[in-house]
Structure 1
Amino acid sequence: MTAVNIPAGSAELGGELVLPPAAAGVVLFAHGSGSSRFSPRNTFVAKVLQRRGIGTLLFDLLTSTEDQDYARRFDIDLLTQRLLAATDWLQTNPETRALKIGYFGASTGAAAALQASAERKAVVAAVVSRGGRPNLAGEPALGQVAAPTLLIVGGADYGVIELNEQAFAMMNCKKQLSLVPGATHLFEEPGTLEQAAQLAADWFARYLCNQKEGGA
């Protein structure tokens, strides 16, 4: 693991980059409101991806000062710009500039991931949303997403399921909506986060690394 600092305008965002040997792709994690690069759920998913040979970049979308402002946590445009800054950093970093890029977004971070992928059609190869609010990306951005996109929702996350279905209908890319049975919004039920992580790993392996499901 390598600690990194990502410039984003006047801000500097701390992050952690992990690149398994011979990685063909790297996934940027866009965490949800009130979370950070230390999110235990995102860290868990990142380790599953790393075991599949996929690189990961977990980073803070907001500085510690910015995160004190509750409204900023829901400023999707700002979160999108931060994700784009991290994408630019990956494309100039010698270790990662040749790798395919994917986004993994949770909660509000999913909306930022979709907005950013709509802006960088030629760069982003795959997107996964876990318990996300893709509807917050807005209909114009959702209609412009080109990257293959997987929306993972808890089967008991009532209300959010419907919001994901609405966003799904607005998307024109290769797409899939997967419900994890019995899971609520944070996937805290036994085995549900593991299921979500496996779905994400299979999606990224397919579109970043050209692996089949369950491949090594």
Structure 2
Amino acid sequence: MDEQRSTVTVPVGDVQLPADLVVPAQPVGVVLFAHGSGSSRHSPRNVAVARTLNDRGLGTVLADLLTPTEDEVDARTAELRFDIGLLASRLAGIVDWLAVERPAGDVPVGLFGASTGAAAALVAASSRADRVAAVVSRGGRPDLAGAALAQVRTPTLLLVGGLDEEVITLNEQALAELGDVGELRVVPGATHLFEEPGTLDEVAEQAGAWFTSHLSR
């Protein structure tokens, strides 16, 4: 499959965020990733999921939501990885950049959030309902989205490992807030990081089907 790969710098507010962009030929949509606590755009799990999405004709954007200086602070204090407002504003800024610059063309945008990144994705989706057409959460903490959960109007798939019992409970509570736009699916035999054989493949397949369904015009 022909695809274009590039590393771009996205201006968001007063910062510049690096992002790895993959655009297949004639993409049906583009998915922006929000990684979890202490991770980066090089997260092996998100890179693996992105590869599956690319194979389905979806463009992907894996961005660092913190600057190198902020990363150094967060490595010491772990304070910024839980700053959902900051992360959501950065995501929303990249969504706006995608709409203006159109590196993947005029296609719908989806958000894929892992762990705390899922909360940021949901907050961003609530503030960009006209631009974000689908959300997928992997082992996410949607509860951290707070009051924004009830404002989400975007079809949202919550994927949780069957052995991740505490997070299942938190996702069930979030599902009640999301109402008709939300769907919860449990991946059997998976823990929080989906490290068990075949479980991350299952996440990628389900995410791919969700995005293909909701981003295709």
Under TM normalisation by the shorter chain, which class is it?
over 0.9
Q: Find out whether 1:4 has 2:11 as its counterpart.
A: no
Aligned position for 2:137: 129
Among 122, 144, 148, the residue aligned to 2:151: 144
Distance in 2 (CA, whole Å) between partners of 1:132 and 1:190 is 20
Aligned position for 1:36: 40
Runs of 4+ in 1 over 4 A off after TM superposition: none
* Larger helix proportion of the pair: 2
Among 193, 198, 203, the residue aligned to 2:200: 193
Aligned position for 1:51: 55
Alpha-carbon contact 2:27-2:104 (below 8 Å) kept: no
Equivalent residues, number: 209
For residues 160-179 of structure 1, what are the alpha-carbon distances to aligned partners after superposition, in whole Å with 9 as ceiling and x for unaligned? 11000000111134221010
Q: TM-score w.r.t. structure 1 length? A: 0.94
Counterpart secondary structure, 2:122: helix
Q: Find out whether 1:72 has 2:76 as its counterpart.
A: no
Q: Find out whether 1:159 has 2:159 as its counterpart.
A: no
Q: Find out whether 1:175 has 2:179 as its counterpart.
A: no
Where does structure 1 lack aligned partners over 5 or more consecutive residues? Answer: 211-216
Q: TM-score w.r.t. structure 2 length? A: 0.94
- Aligned residues: CA RMSD: 1.0
Among 102, 114, 120, the residue aligned to 2:122: 114
Distance in 2 (CA, whole Å) between partners of 1:104 and 1:203 is 11
Counterpart secondary structure, 1:171: helix
Letter in 1 for 2:36: G
Letter in 1 for 2:204: A
Structure 1 residue 24: deviation in Å? Answer: 1.8
Distance in 1 (CA, whole Å) between partners of 2:180 and 2:156 is 7
